Amino acid sequence: MATIGLSKPYFAKYSHTGSKVTYTGGALLGKYTELSIELDSQDANILYADNAAAESDQQFTGGTATVTTDDLRADVMVPVFGAKEEPIDSDGIGTLSPAWIVFDDDQNAPYVGLGGVIKKKVDGLIKWVGFILNKTQFTTPGISAVTQGETIEWQTQQLTATILRSDAPKHPWFRISTPMDSEADAEAAVKQYLCIQDPVLGSLSVSSEAGSEAGKTKISVTPALTPGNHYVYQTGSTVTLPTELGEDVSSDWTPWNGTDEITAATGQELGVVEADSGEMAVAAGKTTVTANPAG
């Protein structure tokens, strides 16, 4: 059996009540490029009796995981490093809903479970194994960047996490699956252990009332916009909303700042989509327009 690949760096927040461990808020850390696990020295603790070694103990005492990913995404810094988001005053900035990721005295890095999938070749066949580090804590990463020259120098992000024993019975710290027939199977096992559900398109509650000018409507949307995301809208006799999370809304939808009144006719449908920075749908909803009647 030979290792030939690595993928799917999933994490989930670790918590426990007594010996009952739970994982929540799981997601992808990015894309793996490398992983190494170094264990603390585990020299044998030997009991000598009758002038000879009678008992020996070599319990796990800790270690360090070094994780290299393609990049460090903004949406990962808050749950993994305990940072926080603050909106940026967007005056003079074209990017919708920009935000700072802030590291300050309030930062408190949580414990997280960390998993992934290792690709192997077994007797000429490709197999995949899932693995879990039950309890880790990441340290705040440094920043390193090189200016672009004549050719691109790919720059990855290295992260370091302390490996601890879980609070569950027997204090597990690592587990790895038997070889599986597909990457999807190994990924499913990792997600199942970390209690990660496939995300679905969210629902927006959209309401319309007469605007301040003729032909205008004032739109209200709940829940509030997620920092880093933005709204787009569409009006018409009928509006077809996206049905899948991540559906492309880069065309046929108009950017909206969430406050400006919109030109529309009473009785039309108006759909609003919350989109991420890649113009992919995160949540959607629609309403029937009530507009200020023409004078």
Percent of the chain's residues with pLDDT above 70? 95
Mean pLDDT of 46-52: 73
The CATH number assigned to the domain with range 202-288 reads 2.60.40
295 pLDDT higher than 60:
no
How far apart CA 156 and CA 175 sit, in angstroms, is: 27
How far apart CA 32 and CA 158 sit, in angstroms, is: 10
- Higher model confidence: residue 263 or residue 71? 263
Amino acid 54: pLDDT: 66
Domain chopping of the chain, boundaries = 2-193, 202-288
Amino acid 156: pLDDT: 87
* Encoded tokens for 162: 């302390």
Amino acid 116: pLDDT: 96
1 pLDDT higher than 80:
no
Is omega for the bond preceding 223 within 30 degrees of 0, making it cis?
Answer: yes
Q: Rounded to two decimals, what is the model's pTM?
A: 0.71
95 pLDDT higher than 60:
yes
pLDDT digits (tens, 9 = 90+) for 134-178: 999 999 988 888 888 888 888 888 999 999 999 999 999 999 999
How far apart CA 138 and CA 140 sit, in angstroms, is: 7
Q: What is the 3-state secondary structure (H, E, C) of the chain?
A: CEEEEEECCEEEEEEEECCEEEEEEEEECCCEEEEEEEECCCCCEEEEECCEEEEEECCCCCEEEEEEECCCCHHHHHHHHCCEEEECCCCCCCCCCCEEEECCCCCCCCCEEEEEEEEEEECCEEEEEEEEEEEEEECCCCCCCCCCCCCCCCCCEEEEEEEECCCCCCCCCEEECCCECCHHHHHHHHHHHCCCCCCCCEECEEEEEECCCCCEEEEEEECCCCCCCEEEEEEECCCCCCCCCCCECCCCCEEECCCCCEECCCCCEEEEEEECCCCEEEEEEEEECCCCCCC
CB distance 113 to 135 below 8 Å = yes
Q: What is the mean pLDDT of the chain?
A: 91
Amino acid 19: pLDDT: 95
Mean pLDDT of 79-93: 89
Phi-psi sector, 179: left (phi>0), alpha (psi -120 to 50), beta: beta
pLDDT digits (tens, 9 = 90+) for 99-123: 899 999 999 999 999 999 999 998 8
